[in-house]
């Protein structure tokens, strides 16, 4: 008998069941060569002793740890938290655990995770396609070691791996196209600095404007330094300070949009009475007041497809890496409306045009 508090080993199970260690190993790994009586006897002893097979030992036998890693820029960002949830849910259904690393936009952290992932022996890696994660040597180092890697979300495509990304350009077109259909013509855009996703989403906005015969106005674009609500508020203050007319705002994501909403309300500028407002990602937009129109990113689809692709690579799929754009979905709520006629007339007369009139 084992002493109380000690952890049972495979040898203890074999001794108590009256079989070899090899037979116990075969039962644990569902080897069909073990007859029913021996299998039943071993399973009873396993249940009685509470024996749990060593993951390390199992990995040595199967060459798999049934574990994946997922690197994200920030687990506090509601969008990345949603992607993480989708990835973990999809992996769990397939019997895999997920180890998570938050890089916090720090290249030194990325380098540290690179070393740890190689040492941990995970079966594959998923990662967000953000600048901090893909700009260094992480992906080449993992691929060199034969680790399957799949990108999910973000927008900095890596040609050597499969990438599952939102169709950001189409999302921008959806947002601006809807506002144009309501009658808005002076549409501002709040983005973030050094952001490829900002570039793509605004490219979609510009496509819609161009198709409508409206010229791009740089004065209507503000790049915030970060992604927080405070950054959205500051961006709106800067936009107002430029004294350029606008009746609608498209924000890079919902968090910036909420900051913009609060700043506009603080200035006595009602939404949607005076300004219509659209966010992106559908993370917190349903909880603002008013509830916010947004371009929803299908995080569940992104996570599930990325995990399925990674597991297919583990099973030997050798097709060339592919970029997989995932369609966005437009969600209309209470923050958008037909522009106020008086505000629309004022917005149409920008400071530059006033100078021309003089």
Cα–Cα distance between 272 and 287 in angstroms, integer?
16
Question: Using 50, 70 and 90 to split pLDDT, how confident is the model at 58?
Answer: low
Question: Using 50, 70 and 90 to split pLDDT, how confident is the model at 28?
Answer: confident
Q: Which two tokens stand for residue 202?
A: 């605004």
Nearest to 180 by CA among 201, 202, 211, 151: 211
Tell me what pLDDT residue 273 has: 94
CA distances from 184 to 64, 149, 338 (A): 56, 43, 7
Percent of the chain with pLDDT over 70: 90
Burial (Cβ within 10 Å: 0-12, 13-18, ≥19) of residue 37: exposed
Nearest to 120 by CA among 143, 98, 93, 139: 98
Tell me what pLDDT residue 71 has: 95
Question: Using 50, 70 and 90 to split pLDDT, how confident is the model at 181?
Answer: very high
Cα–Cα distance between 357 and 164 in angstroms, integer?
50
Q: Which two tokens stand for residue 253?
A: 């994501």
Ordered domains of the chain (ranges, CATH) = 10-62 (1.10.260.40), 67-167+299-327 (3.40.50.2300), 168-297+331-357 (3.40.50.2300)
Percent of the chain with pLDDT over 90: 66
| Residue 60 in this model has a pLDDT that exceeds 50 | no
Helix (H) or strand (E) holding 251: strand 248-251
What would the mean pLDDT of 99-124 be, rounded to a whole number? Answer: 89
Nearest to 176 by CA among 168, 187, 166, 167: 187
What would the mean pLDDT of 75-95 be, rounded to a whole number? Answer: 92
Residue ranges of alpha helices (H) inside 94-225 are 107-120, 131-134, 138-144, 168-182, 196-211
Tell me what pLDDT residue 346 has: 67
Tell me what pLDDT residue 116 has: 87
The predicted-structure confidence for 223-239, as pLDDT tens digits, reads as follows 999 889 999 999 999 99
The predicted-structure confidence for 333-357, as pLDDT tens digits, reads as follows 999 999 987 666 666 644 443 333 2
Eight-state DSSP code of residue 272 = T
| Residue 1 in this model has a pLDDT that exceeds 60 | no
C-alpha 179 chain-centroid distance: 26
| Residue 61 in this model has a pLDDT that exceeds 60 | no
Choose the weakest-confidence range: 70-74, 115-119, 257-261, 299-303: 115-119
Question: Using 50, 70 and 90 to split pLDDT, how confident is the model at 358?
Answer: very low
Question: Using 50, 70 and 90 to split pLDDT, how confident is the model at 149?
Answer: very high
Mean per-residue pLDDT of the chain = 88
The predicted-structure confidence for 125-145, as pLDDT tens digits, reads as follows 999 999 999 988 999 999 998
| Residue 291 in this model has a pLDDT that exceeds 90 | yes
Tell me what pLDDT residue 21 has: 78
Question: Using 50, 70 and 90 to split pLDDT, how confident is the model at 3?
Answer: low
The sign one gets for the Cα dihedral 70, 71, 75, 79 is: negative
What would the mean pLDDT of 198-208 be, rounded to a whole number? Answer: 97
């Amino acid at each position: 008998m084992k002493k109380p508090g000690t952890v049972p080993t495979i040898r203890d199970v074999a001794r108590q069941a009256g079989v070899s260690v090899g037979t116990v190993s075969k039962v644990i790994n569902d080897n069909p060569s073990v007859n029913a009586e021996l299998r039943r006897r071993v399973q009873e002893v396993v249940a009685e002793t509470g024996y749990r097979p060593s993951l390390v030992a199992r990995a040595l036998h199967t060459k798999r740890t049934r574990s994946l890693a997922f690197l994200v820029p920030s687990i506090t960002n509601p969008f990345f938290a949603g992607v993480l949830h989708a990835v973990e849910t999809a992996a769990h259904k397939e019997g895999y655990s997920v180890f998570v690393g938050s890089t916090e936009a720090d290249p030194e952290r990325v380098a540290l995770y690179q070393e740890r992932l190689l040492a941990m022996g995970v079966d594959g890696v998923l990662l967000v396609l953000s600048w901090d994660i893909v700009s260094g040597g992480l992906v080449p180092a993992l691929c060199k070691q034969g680790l399957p890697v799949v990108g999910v979300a973000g927008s900095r495509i890596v040609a050597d791996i499969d990438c599952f990304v939102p169709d950001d350009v189409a999302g921008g077109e959806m947002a601006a196209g809807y506002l144009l259909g309501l009658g808005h013509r002076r549409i501002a855009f709040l983005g973030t600095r050094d952001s490829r996703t900002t570039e793509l989403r605004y490219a979609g906005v510009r496509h819609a404007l161009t198709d409508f015969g409206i010229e791009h106005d740089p004065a209507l674009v503000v790049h915030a330094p970060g992604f927080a609500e405070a950054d959205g508020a500051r961006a709106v203050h800067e936009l107002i300070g430029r004294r350029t007319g606008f009746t609608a705002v498209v924000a890079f994501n919902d968090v910036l949009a909420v900051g913009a909403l609060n700043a506009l309300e603080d200035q006595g500028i009602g939404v949607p009475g005076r300004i219509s407002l659209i966010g992106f990602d559908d993370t917190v937009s349903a909880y603002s007041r008013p509830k916010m129109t947004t371009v929803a990113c299908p995080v569940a689809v992104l996570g599930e497809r990325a995990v399925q692709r990674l597991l297919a690579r583990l099973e030997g799929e050798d097709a060339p890496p592919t970029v997989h754009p995932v369609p966005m979905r437009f969600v209309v709520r209470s923050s958008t409306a037909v522009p106020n006629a008086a505000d629309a007339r004022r917005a149409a007369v920008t400071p530059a045009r006033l100078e021309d009139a003089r």
